[in-house]
Protein backbone atom coordinates (compact mmCIF):
# COMPACT_ATOMS: atom_id res chain seq x y z
CA UNK A 1 0.00 0.00 0.00
CA UNK A 2 1.32 3.42 -1.02
CA UNK A 3 1.22 6.74 0.85
CA UNK A 4 -1.69 9.16 0.48
CA UNK A 5 -1.23 12.58 -1.04
CA UNK A 6 -1.31 14.21 2.42
CA UNK A 7 1.41 11.83 3.63
CA UNK A 8 3.51 12.48 0.50
CA UNK A 9 3.23 16.25 1.03
CA UNK A 10 4.15 15.83 4.69
CA UNK A 11 7.27 13.91 3.63
CA UNK A 12 8.15 16.61 1.07
CA UNK A 13 7.71 19.38 3.67
CA UNK A 14 9.54 17.47 6.43
CA UNK A 15 6.50 17.14 8.66
CA UNK A 16 5.91 13.36 8.40
CA UNK A 17 6.49 10.86 11.20
CA UNK A 18 9.33 8.28 11.02
CA UNK A 19 7.24 5.34 9.72
CA UNK A 20 5.91 7.37 6.79
CA UNK A 21 9.42 8.67 5.94
CA UNK A 22 10.77 5.12 6.10
CA UNK A 23 8.13 3.92 3.65
CA UNK A 24 8.77 6.87 1.27
CA UNK A 25 12.50 6.09 1.15
CA UNK A 26 12.04 2.31 0.74
CA UNK A 27 9.28 2.47 -1.92
CA UNK A 28 10.52 3.63 -5.34
CA UNK A 29 7.10 4.69 -6.49
CA UNK A 30 6.40 6.85 -3.37
CA UNK A 31 9.97 8.30 -3.54
CA UNK A 32 9.39 9.27 -7.20
CA UNK A 33 6.09 10.92 -6.28
CA UNK A 34 7.75 12.91 -3.43
CA UNK A 35 10.44 14.02 -5.91
CA UNK A 36 7.81 15.05 -8.47
CA UNK A 37 5.86 17.06 -5.83
CA UNK A 38 9.11 18.76 -4.77
CA UNK A 39 9.84 19.68 -8.42
CA UNK A 40 6.34 21.11 -8.87
CA UNK A 41 6.74 23.22 -5.69
CA UNK A 42 10.11 24.57 -6.92
CA UNK A 43 8.68 25.33 -10.35
CA UNK A 44 5.77 27.19 -8.80
CA UNK A 45 8.10 29.24 -6.58
CA UNK A 46 10.24 30.17 -9.58
CA UNK A 47 7.32 31.59 -11.54
CA UNK A 48 7.48 35.37 -11.89
CA UNK A 49 5.07 37.34 -9.76
CA UNK A 50 2.32 38.66 -11.95
CA UNK A 51 0.01 41.53 -11.16
CA UNK A 52 -2.28 43.81 -13.10
CA UNK A 53 -0.60 46.29 -15.41
CA UNK A 54 -2.10 49.09 -13.29
CA UNK A 55 -3.66 49.02 -9.87
CA UNK A 56 -7.40 49.37 -10.51
CA UNK A 57 -8.41 49.75 -6.85
CA UNK A 58 -7.70 53.51 -6.45
CA UNK A 59 -9.74 54.34 -9.55
CA UNK A 60 -12.52 52.02 -8.47
CA UNK A 61 -12.50 53.54 -4.96
CA UNK A 62 -12.72 57.08 -6.43
CA UNK A 63 -15.66 56.01 -8.59
CA UNK A 64 -17.45 54.45 -5.62
CA UNK A 65 -16.85 57.54 -3.45
CA UNK A 66 -18.03 59.82 -6.25
CA UNK A 67 -21.23 57.78 -6.61
CA UNK A 68 -21.79 57.91 -2.83
CA UNK A 69 -21.43 61.69 -2.81
CA UNK A 70 -23.79 61.99 -5.76
CA UNK A 71 -26.40 59.89 -3.95
CA UNK A 72 -25.95 61.91 -0.76
CA UNK A 73 -26.35 65.24 -2.57
CA UNK A 74 -29.29 63.85 -4.48
CA UNK A 75 -30.98 62.89 -1.18
CA UNK A 76 -30.05 66.22 0.40
CA UNK A 77 -31.44 68.03 -2.62
CA UNK A 78 -34.73 66.15 -2.47
CA UNK A 79 -34.95 66.60 1.29
CA UNK A 80 -34.35 70.35 0.90
CA UNK A 81 -36.94 70.56 -1.88
CA UNK A 82 -39.45 68.65 0.26
CA UNK A 83 -38.78 70.91 3.23
CA UNK A 84 -39.16 74.00 1.05
CA UNK A 85 -42.47 72.72 -0.31
CA UNK A 86 -43.72 71.88 3.19
CA UNK A 87 -42.76 75.31 4.54
CA UNK A 88 -44.35 77.02 1.54
CA UNK A 89 -47.57 75.05 1.98
CA UNK A 90 -47.70 75.77 5.71
CA UNK A 91 -47.09 79.46 5.08
CA UNK A 92 -49.74 79.56 2.35
CA UNK A 93 -52.31 77.72 4.43
CA UNK A 94 -51.52 79.78 7.51
CA UNK A 95 -51.67 83.00 5.49
CA UNK A 96 -54.98 81.91 3.99
CA UNK A 97 -56.41 81.05 7.39
CA UNK A 98 -55.17 84.33 8.86
CA UNK A 99 -56.59 86.27 5.92
CA UNK A 100 -59.90 84.44 6.24
CA UNK A 101 -59.94 85.05 9.99
CA UNK A 102 -59.11 88.74 9.55
CA UNK A 103 -61.82 89.09 6.89
CA UNK A 104 -64.33 87.40 9.19
CA UNK A 105 -63.38 89.74 12.06
CA UNK A 106 -63.68 92.77 9.76
CA UNK A 107 -67.10 91.60 8.51
CA UNK A 108 -68.39 91.01 12.02
CA UNK A 109 -67.00 94.34 13.21
CA UNK A 110 -68.67 96.22 10.32
CA UNK A 111 -71.96 94.44 11.06
CA UNK A 112 -71.75 95.40 14.74
CA UNK A 113 -70.82 99.00 13.87
CA UNK A 114 -73.85 99.25 11.58
CA UNK A 115 -76.10 97.71 14.24
CA UNK A 116 -74.70 100.14 16.81
CA UNK A 117 -75.43 103.08 14.49
CA UNK A 118 -79.03 101.91 13.96
CA UNK A 119 -79.55 101.62 17.73
CA UNK A 120 -78.06 105.11 18.29
CA UNK A 121 -80.40 106.51 15.59
CA UNK A 122 -83.30 104.83 17.38
CA UNK A 123 -82.19 106.43 20.67
CA UNK A 124 -82.09 109.89 19.11
CA UNK A 125 -85.65 109.37 17.93
CA UNK A 126 -86.84 109.05 21.52
CA UNK A 127 -87.40 112.15 23.54
CA UNK A 128 -86.51 111.94 27.17
CA UNK A 129 -89.60 111.70 29.19
CA UNK A 130 -89.63 113.48 32.50
CA UNK A 131 -91.90 110.85 33.98
CA UNK A 132 -89.44 108.03 34.69
CA UNK A 133 -88.83 106.34 37.96
CA UNK A 134 -85.62 106.84 39.87
CA UNK A 135 -84.69 103.22 39.32
CA UNK A 136 -85.16 103.53 35.55
CA UNK A 137 -83.19 106.79 35.47
CA UNK A 138 -80.37 105.17 37.44
CA UNK A 139 -80.28 102.22 35.06
CA UNK A 140 -80.22 104.53 32.04
CA UNK A 141 -77.33 106.51 33.52
CA UNK A 142 -75.45 103.32 34.34
CA UNK A 143 -75.90 101.99 30.77
CA UNK A 144 -74.80 105.32 29.28
CA UNK A 145 -71.70 105.35 31.53
CA UNK A 146 -70.75 101.83 30.49
CA UNK A 147 -71.20 102.79 26.82
CA UNK A 148 -68.95 105.82 27.40
CA UNK A 149 -66.25 103.56 28.89
CA UNK A 150 -66.44 101.24 25.88
CA UNK A 151 -66.31 104.23 23.51
CA UNK A 152 -63.18 105.47 25.30
CA UNK A 153 -61.53 102.04 24.95
CA UNK A 154 -62.47 101.89 21.26
CA UNK A 155 -61.00 105.35 20.72
CA UNK A 156 -57.86 104.28 22.58
CA UNK A 157 -57.42 101.26 20.30
CA UNK A 158 -57.76 103.56 17.29
CA UNK A 159 -59.04 102.93 13.83
CA UNK A 160 -56.90 99.88 13.09
CA UNK A 161 -57.60 98.58 9.57
CA UNK A 162 -57.43 95.00 10.83
CA UNK A 163 -59.78 94.55 13.78
CA UNK A 164 -58.75 92.27 16.62
CA UNK A 165 -60.90 89.95 18.72
CA UNK A 166 -60.69 92.54 21.52
CA UNK A 167 -62.16 95.25 19.29
CA UNK A 168 -64.89 92.87 18.14
CA UNK A 169 -65.73 92.07 21.78
CA UNK A 170 -65.96 95.78 22.61
CA UNK A 171 -68.37 96.33 19.71
CA UNK A 172 -70.49 93.39 20.89
CA UNK A 173 -70.65 94.85 24.38
CA UNK A 174 -71.57 98.25 22.95
CA UNK A 175 -74.41 96.83 20.85
CA UNK A 176 -75.71 94.83 23.84
CA UNK A 177 -75.71 97.95 26.04
CA UNK A 178 -77.33 100.11 23.36
CA UNK A 179 -79.99 97.46 22.82
CA UNK A 180 -80.71 97.46 26.57
CA UNK A 181 -80.87 101.26 26.53
CA UNK A 182 -83.31 101.27 23.61
CA UNK A 183 -85.41 98.68 25.42
CA UNK A 184 -85.45 100.88 28.53
CA UNK A 185 -86.73 103.85 26.51
CA UNK A 186 -89.28 101.72 24.69
CA UNK A 187 -90.56 100.23 27.94
CA UNK A 188 -90.75 103.60 29.70
CA UNK A 189 -92.69 105.15 26.76
CA UNK A 190 -95.10 102.27 26.77
CA UNK A 191 -95.53 102.63 30.53
CA UNK A 192 -96.08 106.38 30.36
CA UNK A 193 -98.51 105.94 27.46
CA UNK A 194 -100.82 103.74 29.53
pLDDT at 94 over 80: no
pLDDT recorded at residue 193: 45
- 119-177: pLDDT as tens digits: 888 888 765 554 566 777 788 888 888 888 888 888 887 766 567 888 888 889 989 98
Given pLDDT bands bounded at 50, 70 and 90, which one contains residue 62? very high
Cβ atoms of 178 and 123 within 8 Å: the answer is: yes
- Highest mean pLDDT pick, 4-8, 48-52, 156-160, 161-165: 4-8
Give the burial class of 37: count Cβ atoms within 10 A of its Cβ; 0-12 exposed, 13-18 middle, 19 or more buried: middle
Task: Name which residue leads in pLDDT, 1 or 116.
Answer: 116
- 14-32: pLDDT as tens digits: 888 899 889 888 999 989 9
**Which residues contact residue 164 at a Cβ distance below 8 angstroms, ignoring those fewer than 6 apart?**
105, 157
Tell me if the pTM is above 0.85: no
Q: How far apart are CA 86 and CA 92, in angstroms?
A: 10
Lowest mean pLDDT among 54-63, 78-87, 178-187: 178-187
- 96-118: pLDDT as tens digits: 777 777 788 888 888 988 888 88
Amino acid sequence: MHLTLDELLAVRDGDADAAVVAHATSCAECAAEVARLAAVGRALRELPTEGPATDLWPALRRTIEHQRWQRRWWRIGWAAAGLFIAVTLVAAVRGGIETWHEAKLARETRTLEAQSQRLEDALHGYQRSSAVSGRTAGTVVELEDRIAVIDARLAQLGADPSPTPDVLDLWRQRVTLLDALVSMHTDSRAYVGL
